[in-house]
Amino acid sequence: MILFKKTTDLHNWLETQRKKEKTIGFVPTMGALHEGHISLITAAKKQNNIVVSSIFVNPEQFNDPKDFDKYPSSIEKDIEKLLAEETNLLFLPSLEEIYPGGFVKEFFELGYLDTVLEGEFRPGHFQGVCIVVKRLLEITGPDDLYLGQKDYQQCMVIKRLVKLMGWNEKIKLNICPTLREGDGLAMSSRNMRLNPEERTLATTIYHTLQFVQKNIEPGDLSLVKTQAQSLLTNAGFKVDYVEIADANNLQIIQTWDGKKPLVVLIAAFMNEIRLIDNLVLEPHE
């Protein structure tokens, strides 16, 4: 594995590979790698000659500075994991490499996606995501970009970003399924911060998603949402949202026609730790 810290070195190296007709798959991460991240790398390896993964914890996408300060970091272990996966290339830039001369604010027209769900509860978050992803895509210029469905709304935001930048012909988005622990908890770097008791209670998020999947009926969805909310609060969660939305555009659905594809999305705090998860609903038999 080659480790690049400098943007120009990486850019030049990839240019050379591109001239040799090599395809490039890109997996951006914030580190503290787990099997979910590795599944993206595995998918990228299957479809590309070269796989670039990046580790960069972007301060601009944390609306809560405490969350940024406490974001887990395990670079040495991450490198070991990437070596074991025979990842071709790791990009580990400094803040200065990503924002040379300092951070300059940009605005991305994300419309509705910027104000609903994560957009509502984490103001500015997706603008921060767009700035860093745009920068990383400019540096790496991949053929394929790999993202996790775990961050459902982020996938939509990045799809929008790619379109806004006019890159949709050039960069193919690959959305990979959410990897879960044996008890259903979605793998997340933030899970490392849960103590044993919190870790046990955290599975309630997945049980709640399953509860909605099992109990949803066409018509008014307010009762099933209230019940789902209670499951979470009874387990000790402070809920930001439990919502049911159109899986194609994230418009919140209050009354379901029984046909529209749906996604259930949850964001909730277990004490200090904010967890998110979602489930695309399968049609009932």
User: Applying CB under 6 A, which residues contact ligand AMP?
Assistant: 29-30, 36-37, 39-40, 147-148, 150-151, 176, 178-179, 186-189
**Least CB distance to ligand AMP at residue 187 (A):** 4
Q: Which of 37, 125, 207, 284 is catalytic?
A: 37
> Within 10 A of 163 (CB to CB), how many other CB atoms are there?
10
Tell me which amino acid residue 261 is. Answer: P
**Least CB distance to ligand AMP at residue 154 (A):** 6
Yes or no: say if 225 and 211 are a contact pair by the CB < 8 Å rule. no
**Least CB distance to ligand AMP at residue 120 (A):** 19
**Least CB distance to ligand AMP at residue 10 (A):** 18
Q: How far apart are CA 177 and CA 217, in angstroms?
A: 25
- Write the CB contacts of 136 (distance below 8 Å, at least 6 apart in sequence): 26, 28, 54, 56, 91, 98
Give every strand in the sheet of 144-148, ordered side by side.
2-4, 89-91, 50-55, 24-29, 144-148, 172-176
Q: Which is nearer to ligand AMP, 206 or 256 (CB)?
A: 206
Q: How far apart are CA 248 and CA 251, in angstroms?
A: 8
Q: Identify the H or E element spanning 38.
A: helix 35-47
Residue 137: exposed, middle, or buried by beta-carbon count in 10 A (0-12, 13-18, 19+)? buried
Using the Cα atoms of residue 36, residue 69, residue 3 and residue 25 in order, give the sign of their dihedral: positive
Q: How far apart are CA 250 and CA 243, in angstroms?
A: 10
Asked about 125 being catalytic, the answer comes back as no
33 DSSP assignment: -
> Within 10 A of 228 (CB to CB), how many other CB atoms are there?
24
Task: Give the N- to C-terminal CA distance of the chain in Å, as an integer.
Answer: 47
Q: Catalytic residues, which ones?
A: 37
